[in-house]
Structures are given as structure tokens and as C-alpha cells.
Structure 1
Amino acid sequence: MRTSVKFTAAAASALLALTTLTACGGTGSQDAAAGGDNGKIKIMVGGLDKVIYLPARLTQQLGYFEDEGVHVTLLTEPAGVQATTSLLSGDVQGVVGFYDHTLDLQVKGKQVESVVQFAHAPGEVEVVSNKAAAGLTSPKDFKGKKLGVTGLGSSTDFLTKYLAVKNGVQTNEFTPVAVGAGQTFLSAMKQGSIDGGMTTDPTVAQVVDKNLGKVLIDMRTPEGSKEALGGPYPSSSLYMNTDWVNSHKDTVRKLAKAFVRTLKWMSTHTPEQIADKMPSDYAQGGKELYVQAIKDTLPMFTKDGVMPADGPATVERVLKSFNPNLKNASVDLKKTYTTEFVK
């Protein structure tokens, strides 16, 4: 039965991507290079049903892309690192994922920038299974543990490593396990293949509701982000190749306008009203639980899409604490984001 659940989740994700790609008339770097010139854009999301990336689908549901005259196809990958791969390979024009990838990519010689900043907190939660709870009470106890992340090299992986190093545990002293999110994460906790892990809503809400575990560290609010990471941590964003942005400014401006309009709409509507606009199958644990997941995550979002002033510096400090690629590298933070299109 457990194998069936995992296959179904993977198959559904693959089917969604395949269906959307077919509707677009195919992919490929040549097609992507032309994207935007005809108002057609492909955006890869690091998990369309994750509440941290809710503005992507909500903008589509509200009709704001069409209002701006851009025809957006949203694709989905289970983790942000996989979404980034799609951008670099030229299959899509943009990614809705974590801003921290722009710094990681810059030191690898790839110039990518955030053009709309959805959030000023990670929206991530470290949960611990009930079975492991007695021996895992803080990041100081990460040593020897198996900790779930959406994917190796993902933002959940980055943040888990930072919390470990900050609390005296080296990155080679615990085992990160790529378990995705949703049903695959829940199954991993249920089977005991992970002791805990970092995930987002609605998965967090289901972990607690099904009594599989409890919250260890909550970074869904600016306050929680500051306590765990020492400052605001800009996370969910729309990021794109800088060269593409510079050559398609009118299209990027329209996208930014649509997303900012959504962020403002979210700030003036209740979690119930937001949930009502979303596809019903996003409420995997039931409507009431989905509404609670949105309510718990809403504080992470900005209202204007603008990068918080001291946010990039926090991200750089966090990444440099454990990432050998960035540790001694010089990062030009001003090239990792722009406010030109949202202000």
C-alpha cells in the first residue's frame, strides 16, 4: 500500500507536468529562448501545491496574468533545485522558488536575479517524529540523525545545514534524506526512514493533524525567521536569467504587476477566501486543515513584492556558514535581485 501511495504522488506530478507541457506545444531551449516575445511564458514552480508558493497559482486563478496580457503556463517540480535546473537548461523562462539559489548560482558563473520577492521569511518548519522526539529537542541533537529535505541542494537542505552548523553540528555528522513534500514526506515519517525534517504547509499541518510528529522550529513568520536565522530571510520569489530579463523588460514588468496585485489581494482577504480561490485538490488534508495551513503561513508574504533591505545579507551569511562554494567567494548581492519592476 505504501508503494502505491508514493507511485500515485509521483505519477500525478509527472502527469501534471506532461499535460501542461503538451498544452504549450512542447519545450526545449529554442522554444524557451523565444518565450515572452509572443506573450507566452513558462514558469517552473518548486511545488505548485505548497503554500509558500501559493501566489503563483493564485495569480492564475484570479486572472491577473490574462489582465496583463501575458499567457503563463505553470509547471511543477517537487523541489526548488530541480526547478532551477529547468531554468538553466532553457526549458522555462522563470522559476518560482527560493531567492537563495541566485547567490549559489552566481558563484557558479550563472547570473540569475529575483524580480518579485514574495516572502521575507522562509515559511519552513523543522518537524520531529514522535518516535524521535525524546532525543531530538533542538538542532544541537541533529548529530547522527536522518533528516528529511525536499531535495539535495534545495533550500530546505541549505537551511537544515545552517541550523546544524550554527548549533555545533557539522554537515557530515547527520544524513539529509531527499523525501520531497506531501505524501512522500508523510510516508517517510510514518515508516521511520527519517527522524525529522524540514517542510512547509500543507505538509506541516498534516504532520500535526495525523499525530505523526510535532513542530521543532517554526520559520513561517518574520519573528521566527529572526530567531532561527538572525534576520529576515527572503525566500519565495520569481527569479529569472538576468540576460532574459534585460531583453524582455516589458514582459517582466507585466508579470511583476500581476504578482504584486496578488500579494496585495492576499493581504486584504481571509485565509478562507484565499482557499476558496485555489484548486480543491490542493486541500489534501481537507478544507479546514488547508485554511489553517494558509493562516499559519500568511505572515511570511510581502505585500508589495519588494526585497527587504537587509534580507540579502542574511541569506549570504547563512549560506557562507556551511557552503564551501560561497565561503570564500565574493558575491555581488546587488546583482541577485532587482526592484525595478515592482516599485
Structure 2
Amino acid sequence: MNPFRKVSLAGAMLAVLAVPGAALAADGGGKITIMVGGATKIIYLPARLTEQLGYFREEGLDVEIQSQPAGVDAENELLAGAVQGVVGFYDHTIDLQSKGKEVEAVVVFGQVPGEAEMVATKAAAQIKSMADVKGKTLGVTGLGSSTNFLTQYLAFRAGVSSSQFTVLPVGADNTFIAAIRQGRIDAGMTTEPTISQLLKTGEAQVLVDMRTVEGTTQALGGLYPASSLYMQRAWVDSHKDQVQKLARAFVKTLRYMKTHTPDEIAQKMPKDYYGNNRELYVKALGASLPMFTSDGKMPAGGPETVLKVLASFDPTVKGKHIELARTYTNAFVDQAK
């Protein structure tokens, strides 16, 4: 190891120990760690794709992408100061504001959730709509996750209270598939490519589809901005140059996704993202691309829909005054043009 680098690392460690909350910070040339609530989920594709395309490096950024199975776990890492940003659902910014935490989305990737409530084929005869989930066990990625928020709202809208069904955290990808296969859940909410995998094997069917604008509007009453990069407001305010570079890198990626085929995009991704199911991955990617924004901006009316959803059942949000303007900003993506 270069001795000067060793001294530099030691100095950085001392700085972190000496200054409360220093782990939150990264100076002009420091590493930025972004936690993703399930990096292999297609809804969060822009995080890894930006890295693969080299856009972080082009902006002079040192970015590390880490993954947690559920968005709520990534949120906790952000609040603890272990990471500088989260690629997760925008609805966490509203939920956190109701708890006195100032977090804002600085780039919006998805204008819809990209999720589907899947019902196990062996339970499909009993569950034909969300009104039929009384007494059933529904899978979510984690308690307090966005899949949990949406599950509760869909049931609420169908006249079923959260006390009338059981929620079981089962993660995503293979653990979700295993929960369906083993009969531990009757239905559950997940994303691509898991949705396509279950449809291919015939082990589950789509009950509520929120992968499209039309399906989301029907299920939730409007656009539901979802996957986004959100950060603590204090960090954004003190690191505007770095946030601007991040926004520029992500907007480049969103443009790339709009101008390249699913197959071309898949070629850029690590092989372990699709394993032996590349054809299935490309198909799922093609079905998912319309959910993404082209400019990273918050869609008009989106925050209001999210607030309506959360305020209908979340006791921490219900009845609280939420300043939606403080839960997101378009300032950085506007400059990215």
C-alpha cells in the first residue's frame, strides 16, 4: 500500500471518530455510498446501470452501490449516517417527515411503483380481488417497506382493514418465490423480474398490476412516483456540487434507457442479474421501461397521490401536516439538462 494513502485513510478515520455524524459526510473527493433496496430489482435498475455505463466516473464521483433486501432497511442505514443516499421509494420521504426527519428525493426514476400483487395459483380460486384477502397471509419485502404501504392501502380501498389479514416479510427475488412455492403466503407484492419468473412457471398470477400508468391509476387513483434517489436534506444542502453531479449522471442513464433496446441495456448489466434467464430478463425489462421518467423530474400530482395513500392508513401520517414541497426537489435534475 502507498504509505501516503495509509496516512490519508488513518486521517479520515480520525475525522469520522472526532466529529459527530461525520460518517454522513463525504468531502469534495470522498466516496458516496448509495444503498439500494434490492439492487437486482428492475425498478432500481438506474442505480447499477449508471455505474456500469461509467457515468459516475465521468462526473468525477467515487460511488459505491450497496444493496439491502428491503427499502426500509436502506432507509435505516441512511438515518444512521452509514450511507449518503438511498435508491428506494419516494413514499419514505413523506413517512419520515411525519416522524420529524428531513429527507428529500433529488432524482425520480419511476412514475409508477412497478409492483404487482401476485396471488399463488393454488389460492387464486379464493382470492379474486383484494376484497378477498381477509384471513390470508400476504407477503411484503419488509415491515415498514413500500410494499407494505401499498398492500395495506389496496386492502383498505377494498374494504379490508390491516387487522383482518397477516403481513409476512419475505424479501424479494428467490426468497419471495420460495414463500409462494412453500405456501407460506397466499399472495404478495413483488417486482420484475420476479413477476415474470412466477408467471413463466405458473406458480402465481397477477391480482393487481401497478407496472403501468393505466394499472397504477386504476389501483391508486393517480400516478405514484416510486423509485428515486433520496437523501437527508442537511447533506444535500452541504454537498450541492456532489448532488448535482449525481443528478447529471442519473439523468444521462434515464436518457440512455429511453434510446436503447432492452437487449442493449441487458448487455450492460452484470451477468448475475439475470443468471441463466437472460431472455426472461430482457422480456421483463422491455415491459418495465415505460415506468421510468426520461428526465428525473417529479411527475405532476404524484406527491399528492402518495400522501393520499399513506394518510388513509398510516397513523404516523394521518392527520399530520406534510409539506410536500420539502419531500422532493427538481432543482438538480433541472440543471442536469
Q: Distance in 2 between matches of 1:220 and 1:281?
A: 23
Q: CA deviation at 1:181?
A: 0.5
Identity %: 58
Gaps of 5+ in 2: 1-11
Tell me how far apart the structure 2 counterparts of residues 31 and 301 of structure 1 sit (CA, whole Å): 34
The structural deviation recorded for 1:99 is 0.1
Matching residue within 241, 244, 250 for 1:253:
244
Match of 1:91, SS state, is: coil
Shift, 1:284, TM fit: 3.9
Q: Which runs of 4+ in 1 moved over 4 A?
A: 27-31
**What is the CA–CA distance in structure 2 between the aligned matches of 1:299 and 1:172, rounded to whole Å?**
35
The offset of 1:223, in angstroms, is: 1.2
Partner of 1:128: 119
Name the amino acid aligned to 1:260: V
| Shift of residue 30, structure 1, vs aligned partner | 4.9
Tell me the distance in 2 between the aligned counterparts of 1:64 and 1:184: 32
| Counterpart code for 1:283 | Y
Mark the CA change 1:145 to 1:39 in structure 2 (over 3 Å): closer, same or farther.
Answer: same
Partner of 1:89: 80
TM-score (norm 1): 0.91
Q: CA deviation at 1:293?
A: 1.2
2: CA distance, partners of 1:231 / 1:36: 40
Given that 2:25 and 2:235 are in contact with CA atoms closer than 8 Å, whether structure 1 keeps it comes out as: no
8 A Cα contact 1:147 1:195, kept in partner? yes
TM norm structure 2: 0.92
Tell me the C-alpha RMSD between the 2 structures: 1.5
Q: What is the CA deviation profile of residues 282-303 of structure 1, one whole-angstrom value per residue up to 9, with x for unaligned ones?
A: 0046100000111111111000
1:174 to 165, 170, 187: 165
Tell me, yes or no, if structure 1 residue 141 matches structure 2 residue 129: no
Residue ranges of structure 1 left out of the alignment (5+ in a row)? 1-23
Equivalent of 2:291, from 290, 293, 300? 300
Residue 55 (str. 1) matches residue 46 (str. 2): yes
Offset of 1:63 from its aligned partner? Answer: 0.2
Partner of 1:40: 31
Q: Deviations over 1:113-161 (max 9, x none)?
A: 0000001100001100011000101111111110000001000000000
SS of the residue corresponding to residue 284 of structure 2 reads helix
Whether the 8 Å contact between 1:39 and 1:251 is mirrored in structure 2 is no
Q: Residues 284 and 172 from structure 1, CA distance in 2 versus in 1: closer, same or farther, beyond 3 angstroms? A: farther
Shift of 1:33: 2.8
